[in-house]
Every structure is written in C-alpha cells, then in structure tokens.
Amino acid sequence: MTLPAAPRIGIISQARMTSTRLPGKVLMAVGGRPLLHYHIERLAASQLPIYLAITSNATDDALAQFAAAAHLPCTRGDEQDVLRRYQQCAAENNLDIIVRVTSDCPLIDGALVAQGVQQYLAQGDGRLYLSNALERTFPRGFDFEIFSRELLEEAHREATLPSDREHVTPYIHQNRSGNVHFQHFTRSHDRSNYRLTVDTADDFRLIQVLIEQYNAASLPAEALIELLDAHPELVALNAHVEQKKL
C-alpha cells in the first residue's frame, strides 16, 4: 500500500486516571500545571493535530474536562481495549497516519516526533512501522510509534490477546501478519537507561526537579539528555525503577 499524496496525520495520546502504580499521575501538578499540560504543549511543537484517547469511566471525566478546556478532541472508550480507542479515534478524525504516544511522558519532544514523521513519509510505505521504542537509544519518555491506518485497522480486526488490545501495537510490531516493514529512529549514543516517563513517585520527583529547578519544559530532547549526562545525581532519583512489562 502506498500512502495518499497528502495524508492526514495525527498524534493520538492515550491517558487514564487509574494507572496502577501512580493513580491520577497525568493531572498531578508541577510548577502549578498538570503533567498533561506539559505533554500537550511540547507535542504542539510537532505542528500536528493532537487527539486524546481516554476511558469512558467516570474516573476520567477530569481528563475530558481538561481536553475541553484545551480545545483538544477527545475519544472515550473501553479501559482495557485501548486498541479499539485508537481505531475509533483514527476513524472519527479520518486519519491516514497515526503517531502513538502515551500521556505519562511530560517532556516528550514534539520536534523529535516531527523528524520521525518526516522519515516515515519519505518512505511512502503504508506497511511501514517506525518508532524509537523497539531499538532503544533515547530515554524512556521520548517514545513514539508511527504507522498507517491500514495497519491499525488490521490490528483491530485480527488482534485477540488481551495484551494486544491493551497495549495497542504488539500485533503490528511483532509482525503477526508477516507483512510489516520496519525502520528505527535512533541517536548515535545510547541513553535508553534514562527515565523521563512518569510511572512511580520517584519518576514524578525527577520530573518535578527538572521542570521546577532546571527549566526542563523549555528544553529540547538533546539538551535534556545533556543535562542528565552532566547530573548523575538526577539520574539516580529513579534509576532503580523497573519498567512494567507487557
């Protein structure tokens, strides 16, 4: 499949208030603003439309209110079937290409996402999956995945495992169809051991210090990595945290 000449591209960020290790984390405040504010503000640097995919649970009404106040299109659906939420959001907004991100990454770099999209578009391949999350060289917290609506619809039709539905892309990036092509978005020096995602209280503490004491919300990805390189005591704040397995 070739891509349309002028494809509709959108960033879909998934969020929920009932995360197991740090409930309500995306609306926890740093510097007087919720983490979700920083996430959306930094993604805006990509100059791509942003959509929020949240659950239909009453616990996520606060996220719906945030989206409304930010004039952010919002799709609501089943808490466990996040794949369905993505498919529904892409269909509602007639997207040809989806950039998947997660809302627990308050320092994600929209300019980096835009570079990934340009690399993706240059291939003109609707069967392509491109990400910086399979071959990891960036810190956790800058993750993005890019794929076509065709691959998303195929995954929605064919994926049956609960983990496939909850984590959205395993059916695609494990190449269950046997017909997915891959590219990896990488940097020359591996810093995948750094954590700039928020899953625990220690993760939150690092983000809090970075934003409130180091102006991290205004720094691009490479400057943030240089900052962590220069301050191992900051890295140590959450170096012990293990990423949850699929």
Domain assignment of residue 2, yes or no: no
pLDDT beyond 90 at 113: yes
* C-alpha gyration radius of the chain: 17
Per the CB < 8 A criterion, the answer to whether 19 and 90 are in contact is: no
Write out pLDDT tens, residues 187-227.
999 999 999 999 999 999 999 999 999 999 999 999 999 99
Q: The domain spanning residue 90 has which CATH number?
A: 3.90.550.10
What confidence tier does 121 reach under pLDDT thresholds 50, 70, 90?
very high
CA distance 28 to 99: 24
Domain assignment of residue 102, yes or no: yes
Query: What CA–CA distances, in Å, run from 115 to 122, 145, 202?
Result: 11, 12, 30
pLDDT of residue 203: 98
Q: Which has more confidence, 245 or 33? A: 33
Write out pLDDT tens, residues 90-106.
999 999 999 999 999 99
Domain count within the chain: 1
Domain assignment of residue 1, yes or no: no
| Tokens of residue 122, six digits | 């240059």
Domain assignment of residue 246, yes or no: no
Domain assignment of residue 210, yes or no: yes
CA distance 190 to 177: 30
pLDDT (mean) for 1-6: 83
pLDDT beyond 90 at 244: no
pLDDT beyond 90 at 82: yes
Domain assignment of residue 4, yes or no: no
Which residue segment(s) compose the domain that 90 sits in?
9-235
Q: Of the candidates 34, 132, 50, 37, which has an alpha carbon nearest to the alpha carbon of residue 95?
A: 50
Query: Cα-flanking dihedrals φ and ψ of residue 124, to 5°?
Result: 60, 35
CA distance 89 to 76: 9
CA distance 12 to 140: 18
Angle at 67 between CA 64 and CA 70, to 5 degrees: 150
What confidence tier does 2 reach under pLDDT thresholds 50, 70, 90?
confident
